[in-house]
Amino acid sequence: MEAIMRINGIINGIVWGPWMLTLLVGTGVYLTFILGFPQLRYFGFMFKVVFGKKPKTEAEGSISSFAALSTALASTIGTGNIAGVATALHLGGPGALFWMLVSAVFGMTTKFAEVTLAVHFRDKDDLGNIRGGTMYMLEKGTGQKWLAWLFAFFTTFAAFGIGNAIQANSTAEGLNLGFGIPHIATGIVMAILTALVIYGGLKRISEVTTYLVPIMAVFYIIGAVITVGLHANLIVPSLAQAVKYAISDPMAMPGAIAGWTIKMALTKGIARGVFSNEAGLGSAPLVHATAQVDHPVRQGVYGLFEVFADTIVICTLTALAILTTGVLTSNADLTGAQLTLSAFEVVLGRTGVMILSTGLAMFAFSTVLGWYWYGETGAVYIFGTKVIPVYKILWVVVLVIGAYGGGGKFLSNIWDMSDTMNGLMAAPNLVALLWLSGKLRELVKDFDGKRKSGVLQ
């Protein structure tokens, strides 16, 4: 394991080094400018699209646009919002919040772009199921099938980390702390529930997430708002602290924050932000591509909302709960879900621990469901539909292993390897977005023109 982690560290240093971070954020900045700031232009329209009356369409697709959004949100709203944010603050200090939000603003455009292109270039598998995502964009849009295969390979195996083992492990840790439930028991229950859903295919996954995502989001937001609200006088100072430590080096300060640097704030803020909202990874388009929608850009607007809800709303609430309660420095040895749990406990006592433990379990379970579809889509692209039964079995087995592994070094190793796999997924996806930016502009221009003429609502 030590040898594996050393190799992982070398690869991680490359995929999350200055060049990769520049490419991730830079792609979002570039697309923001050439598309005319869609995160601002479509901001009001975004809420109308997500919550308003849906236009009738006879377009191809497996599930509704809202069901696709729910499944994608099920994947993005997960332990990254609780454990990932806490880890970023622990390693990068308050400044990590600032960089997380900066990357999210431009990440909204990145997600918008990859979802739009995924719908445009989607295809069908051997069983007639709608499939789409970066591999299809690369194959059909650029002709670079080797890059398409590479993305599918990374997705197939990255799913077992970011979408499976981490979720199971964080859930087991949270339920053990909140209710004293043994890790193995959590793993077995998660495996059974997951099997019951994924064996029904995408439609059953989307049906479950459509009901689960709104409930779990509201449940967690209420708990976080109460935690932050009771320290409302510290919200502005905490945000000011985040800005200050994002652009200045607090090495002279004592205690736990003595190790924070601008570089750590920036890298951990962006890395954990991407881990949470997945903008630039190319994961969410794998399910958005299956939506019944009248125009690719309309589904892209759902992508804007996805990042907004995940990072700008939920991740910010988590970070403020940690910063305003002071647990970041008073419990400097804690990280991950345990740090967030301690923030809720400061305000809500044992009830807070139970709220967060339950929220963490729901977040993780929904992420496991969404990421299963991502991993399956990658595997189907490489091996064909015959791999589906095998992938289902492996998915359920890894859940139990991930939950049983415990915390500490095991959890740290999974996070590190998942970070690396995220970066490896992002590289071919960003190449596709930059390569196809001209086509993207055409699609946006076409959508805007049809809305202006009244052809589309």
Q: Which amino acid is at 416?
A: D
411 against 105, higher pLDDT: 105
Residue 53 lies in a domain: no
192: nearest Cα among 386, 346, 400? 400
> In whole angstroms, how large is the CA radius of gyration of the chain?
21
Confidence of residue 81 (pLDDT cuts 50, 70, 90): confident
Residue 175 lies in a domain: yes
Q: Cβ atoms within 10 A of the Cβ of 48, count? A: 12
Q: How far apart are CA 89 and CA 223, in angstroms?
A: 20
- pLDDT, average across residues 25-52: 93
Q: How far apart are CA 293 and CA 105, in angstroms?
A: 25
Specify the pLDDT at position 257. 46
Residue 277 lies in a domain: yes
Residue 115 lies in a domain: yes
Q: Which DSSP category does 162 fall into? A: I
Q: How far apart are CA 308 and CA 304, in angstroms?
A: 6
Confidence of residue 390 (pLDDT cuts 50, 70, 90): very high
Specify the pLDDT at position 254. 39
Specify the pLDDT at position 270. 67
Confidence of residue 44 (pLDDT cuts 50, 70, 90): very high
Specify the pLDDT at position 340. 80
Q: Rounded to the nearest 5°, which phi and psi values hold at 133?
A: 140, -170
Q: How far apart are CA 413 and CA 191, in angstroms?
A: 22
Q: Is 346 helix (H, G, I), strand (E, B) or coil?
A: helix
Q: Are 84 and 272 in contact (CB under 8 A)?
A: yes
268: nearest Cα among 310, 315, 313? 315
- CB neighbours of 34 closer than 8 A, spacing ≥ 6? 437, 441
| Encoded tokens for 72 | 């994608």
Q: How far apart are CA 35 and CA 52, in angstroms?
A: 24
Q: How far apart are CA 133 and CA 49, in angstroms?
A: 22
Reported as half-sphere exposure (CB side, CA atoms, 13 A), residue 352 has a value of 20
Q: Please report, to the nearest 10 degrees, the dihedral formed by the alpha carbons of residues 264, 310, 11, 171 taken in order.
A: 100
Reported as half-sphere exposure (CB side, CA atoms, 13 A), residue 205 has a value of 29
Q: What is the mean pLDDT of the chain?
A: 84
**Number of structural domains, the chain?**
1
Query: Model confidence over 339-389: pLDDT tens digits?
Result: 887 888 888 887 777 777 777 788 888 889 989 999 999 999 999 999 999
Q: What is the CATH number of the domain that holds 248?
A: 1.20.1740.10
Q: Are 169 and 368 in contact (CB under 8 A)?
A: no
409 against 241, higher pLDDT: 241
Residue 28 lies in a domain: no
The segment with the largest mean pLDDT, out of 391-395, 404-408, 413-417, is: 391-395
Q: Which amino acid is at 202?
A: L
- pLDDT, average across residues 249-278: 55
Residue 22 lies in a domain: no
Specify the pLDDT at position 175. 79
- CB neighbours of 126 closer than 8 A, spacing ≥ 6? 384, 385
Confidence of residue 269 (pLDDT cuts 50, 70, 90): low
pLDDT of 211 above 90 = no
Query: Model confidence over 316-342: pLDDT tens digits?
Result: 998 899 888 888 877 667 666 678 878
Q: How far apart are CA 424 and CA 419, in angstroms?
A: 9
pLDDT of 259 above 60 = no
pLDDT of 196 above 90 = yes
Q: Which DSSP category does 63 fall into? A: E
Boundaries of domain holding 408: 64-447
Instruction: Return the sign of the alpha-carbon dihedral for residues 401, 406, 407, 413.
Output: negative
Alpha carbon 413 to chain centroid distance? 19
pTM: 0.86
Q: How far apart are CA 86 and CA 82, in angstroms?
A: 6
Instruction: Look up tokens 């609430």; give the residue.
Output: 317
Render the burial of 266-303: b for 16+ CB within 10 Å, e for the rest: bbbbbbbbbbbbbbbbbbbbbbbbbbbbbbbbbbbbbb
| Encoded tokens for 23 | 């490419």
Q: How far apart are CA 316 and CA 135, in angstroms?
A: 32
Residue 94 lies in a domain: yes
- pLDDT, average across residues 203-215: 86
End-to-end CA distance of the chain: 55
Confidence of residue 275 (pLDDT cuts 50, 70, 90): low
| Encoded tokens for 301 | 């607007």
Q: Which amino acid is at 141?
A: G
Residue 209 lies in a domain: yes
278 against 223, higher pLDDT: 223
Specify the pLDDT at position 256. 41
127 against 114, higher pLDDT: 114
Q: Rounded to the nearest 5°, which phi and psi values hold at 126?
A: -65, -25
- Please, is 41 exposed, middle or buried when counting C-beta atoms within 10 Å of its C-beta (0-12, 13-18, 19+)? middle
What are the Cα distances from residue 382, in Å, to 118, 281, 371?
18, 18, 17
Within the chain, how many helices (H) and strands (E) appear?
Answer: 23, 4
What are the Cα distances from residue 371, in Å, to 75, 278, 359, 377, 454?
6, 11, 18, 10, 37
Confidence of residue 85 (pLDDT cuts 50, 70, 90): confident
Specify the pLDDT at position 442. 95
Lowest mean pLDDT among 20-24, 80-84, 208-212, 296-300: 80-84
Q: Cβ atoms within 10 A of the Cβ of 52, count? A: 10
